[in-house]
């Protein structure tokens, strides 16, 4: 069997294993293509804490300068900070240097347009066309700009959250929070925001040195240290970020992880309690969110997976809140991006406003079980898998916008190829836990038969 590729080039950007497929030459060429695409002007860049980040940053700077762009470098910061500063500085675009939840050996470029949104659809395809054609704008040395360093970006981000939501009520009990930053891009700014909100903060894994103290994805199996710290400190809540600090997972006051699906559910409840309006989530997000939206008599819409697709749909329906079931919360009043800082502030305000514990809030929601699996798979096998799944469940309602989503008597499941990794993702949700697990095992058998 051929080896699984270590390079992914898609509308989500380019990512790969540093030292193998993700080379300085490829990075510079992709960045030259982006500079050609956006034209001369300011490009905001920022990176997470991966040890390969400085090499990638230098390749990115070289590509941008050679195509006539002015570079505003935020250094280490969350991806949503880059997006916020693109809008705030009126930049032509931005590049976030991060492989997000991928393992430590990976890195990536995420491309951002002048609205602070990730490239999607026609824009992403145009960038790819420029890259593949190799016809980049090149300027003479005398016309190249210097790199400008921005040292106050994190303060700008904190201020944006406080200006929109304010500190926690002074008459409420002081909340104690444990935050696990995964030694990533949120290591400095997350504790700073929580203290500014008025919470008592215990920070773990908050040394921004690029080491991975746990799996980067904020899923329950990676949160053992956070759960223990919540129990040991008697905290009201625990928060876990991923490496680029756009996603957030929540642990309740008993040290029990909720699952990253429920971050958006809790945040949406807080937003809708203050402002009625449409809600948008992707096809893989829990239907418990639908129950919350219905409780406030608000419509909910579904989009394809990926932040760019969610924000596009949010713009279309003028949604007041949206996001994804991977812990990504998008609140346009503050930042039109998945933003873990915004998510933390919304959840804390919910606790302060209701005076209830996280476990009490969860007990008021419908009971649902979600099972997620991923299977390594080469890109050229994915369509064969999807065709087999469509045929196997042809008698049930299907949504084919992103992979294959099938509605069952007790829930739903989704099979799709990842845009960021050489894998197939399987997700099933049911109000019967055994049924959700049975569906995933059934799907694993189908996938295994297809890929050998």
Looking only at the bridges linking them, the beta strands covering 176-180 and 200-204 are parallel
Cross-strand pairs, 372: 427
Angle (deg, nearest 10), helices 153-165 and 189-197: 30
Cα atoms found within 13 Å of the Cα of residue 282, Cβ hemisphere only: 26
Contact 69, 38 (CB under 8 A): yes
Residue 219 phi, psi dihedral angles, 5° rounding: -100, 160
Among residues 12, 52, 67, 100, the one annotated as catalytic is: 100
Give the 3-state secondary structure of residue 49. coil
> Among residues 316, 328, 254, which one has the least CA distance to residue 289?
328
d(CA 234, CA 60): 44
DSSP 8-class letter at 367: P
d(CA 222, CA 71): 36
d(CA 442, CA 283): 20
Contact 105, 7 (CB under 8 A): no
DSSP 8-class letter at 395: T
Give the 3-state secondary structure of residue 178. strand
Q: Is 255 left (phi over 0), alpha (psi -120 to 50) or beta?
A: left
d(CA 226, CA 214): 10
> Among residues 372, 386, 385, which one has the least CA distance to residue 429?
372
Q: What is the DSSP string of 208-251?
A: -SS--SS-SS--GGG-HHHHHHHHHHT-SEEEEE-TTS--EEEE
Q: Counting Cβ atoms within 10 Å, is residue 315 exposed (0-12), middle (13-18) or buried (19+)?
A: middle
Helix ranges (DSSP H) in 305-432: 307-317, 340-354, 358-363, 379-392
d(CA 278, CA 313): 10
DSSP 8-class letter at 141: G
d(CA 168, CA 161): 12
**For this structure, is 368 an active site residue?**
no
What are the residue numbers of the active site? 100
């Amino acid at each position: 069997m051929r080896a699984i590729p270590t390079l992914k080039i898609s509308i989500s950007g380019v990512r790969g294993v540093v030292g193998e497929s993700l080379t300085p030459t490829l990075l510079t060429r992709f960045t030259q293509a982006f500079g050609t695409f956006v034209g001369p002007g300011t490009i905001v860049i920022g990176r997470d804490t991966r040890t390969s980040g400085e090499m990638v940053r230098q390749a990115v700077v070289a590509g941008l300068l050679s195509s006539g762009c002015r570079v505003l470098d935020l250094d280490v910061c969350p991806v949503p900070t880059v997006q916020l500063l693109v809008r705030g500085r009126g930049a032509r675009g931005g590049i976030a240097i991060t492989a997000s939840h991928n393992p430590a050996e990976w890195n990536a470029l995420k491309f951002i347009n002048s609205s602070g949104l990730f490239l999607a659809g026609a824009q992403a395809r145009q960038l790819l066309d420029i890259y593949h054609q190799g016809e980049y704008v090149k300027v003479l040395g005398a016309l190249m700009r210097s790199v400008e360093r921005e040292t106050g970006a994190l303060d700008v981000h904190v201020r944006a959250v406080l200006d929109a939501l304010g500190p926690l009520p002074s008459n409420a009990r002081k909340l104690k929070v444990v935050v696990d930053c995964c030694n990533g891009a949120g290591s400095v700014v997350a504790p700073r925001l929580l203290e500014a909100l008025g919470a008592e903060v215990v920070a773990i894994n908050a040394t921004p040195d690029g080491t991975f103290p746990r799996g980067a994805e904020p899923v329950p199996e990676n949160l053992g240290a956070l759960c223990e710290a919540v129990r040991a400190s008697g905290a009201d809540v625990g928060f876990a970020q991923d490496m680029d600090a756009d996603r957030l997972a929540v642990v309740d006051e008993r040290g029990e992880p909720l699952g990253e699906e429920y971050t958006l559910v809790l945040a949406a409840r807080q937003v809708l309690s203050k402002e009625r309006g449409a809600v948008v989530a992707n096809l893989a997000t829990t239907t418990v969110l639908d129950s919350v939206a219905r409780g406030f008599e608000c419509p909910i819409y579904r989009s394809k997976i990926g932040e760019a697709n969610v924000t596009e749909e949010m713009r279309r329906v003028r949604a007041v809140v949206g996001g994804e079931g991977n812990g990504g919360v998008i609140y346009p009043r503050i930042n039109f991006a998945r933003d873990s800082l915004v998510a933390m502030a919304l959840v804390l305000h919910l606790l302060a406003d209701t005076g209830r514990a996280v476990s009490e809030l969860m007990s008021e929601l419908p009971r649902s079980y979600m099972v997620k699996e991923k299977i390594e798979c080469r890109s050229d096998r994915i369509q064969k898998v999807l065709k087999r799944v469509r045929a196997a469940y042809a008698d049930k309602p299907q949504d084919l916008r992103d992979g294959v989503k099938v509605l069952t008597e007790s829930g739903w499941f989704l099979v799709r190829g990842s845009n960021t990794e050489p894998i197939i993702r399987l997700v099933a949700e049911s109000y019967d836990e055994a049924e959700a697990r049975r569906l995933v095992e059934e799907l694993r058998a189908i996938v295994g038969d297809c890929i050998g």
